[in-house]
């Protein structure tokens, strides 16, 4: 319990018991929104990997077609992972 209060204090910079609870709920709600956003972003990104090459770029038979798209898609996947994990702490 003490440890929990310490973490919340550290996170929120508040010291009263009531605001611990409030801030903790706010942090929880914020993280939930963040979670929904990143799940949606991941699903959207993966969907693009199927739709764009087959529906949009199927007629582009050159390096700047699906080859470039999938390479950029790979880089976007790295960035997405970096963003999702940026809030991790020990």
Partner 1 sequence: MGVGLVVFALILYVLVGAGVAVLARGGAGRGMAEYFLWNRSMGGFIGALSYSATTYSAFMLVGLAGLTYAGGVGALGFEMVYFSGLVLVAFFGPRFLLVGKKFGYVTPSEMLGDRYGSRGVAIVAALASCVFLIPYSAVQLAGIGYLLSGVTDGGISFTAGTLVATALAVAFALVAGIRSVAWTDALQVLIMLVTATIAVLLVVSSLGGFGELFGRVAEEHPGALSVPGGGFFSFSVFLGLTLPWFFFSLSNPQVSQRLFMVGTMRNLRRMLLGFLVIGFVYTMVAVVWGFAALVRFPNLESGDLATPSLLSSDLVPPVVGVIVIVGILAAAISTIDSILLTLSSMVARDVYGNSPGGADEGRQLLVGKLVIPVIAVLALLFAGLQLDLIAVLAVSSSAGLLVTVPAIIGAFFWKRGTAAGVLSSIILSGLFVTYLEVTQTRLLGQASGVWGLLAAVLLYVGVSLVTTAPDRKAEEFLGYLRGALKDKGAL
Q: Measured from the CB atom, is 19 or 73 closer to partner 1?
A: 73
> Does position 2 bind partner 1 by CB under 8 A?
no
Question: Should residue 54 be labelled a site residue for partner 1 when binding is judged by CB under 8 A?
Answer: yes
Q: Alpha helix (H) ranges present in the chain?
A: 2-12, 17-51, 68-85
Among residues 76, 83, 78, the alpha carbon closest in space to that of 34 is found at 83
Q: How many of the other CB atoms lie within 10 Å of CB of 58?
A: 11
Q: Which is nearer to partner 1, 19 or 45 (CB)?
A: 45
The least CB distance from residue 16 to partner 1, in Å, is: 20
């Amino acid at each position: 319990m003490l440890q929990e209060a310490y973490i919340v204090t550290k996170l929120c910079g508040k010291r009263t018991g009531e605001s611990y609870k409030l801030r903790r709920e706010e942090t929880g709600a914020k993280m939930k929104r963040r979670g929904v956003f990143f799940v949606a972003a991941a699903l959207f990104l993966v969907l693009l990997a199927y739709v764009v090459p087959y529906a949009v770029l199927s007629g582009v038979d050159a390096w700047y077609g699906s080859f470039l798209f999938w390479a950029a898609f790979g880089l976007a996947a790295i960035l997405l992972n970096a963003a999702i994990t940026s809030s991790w702490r020990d």
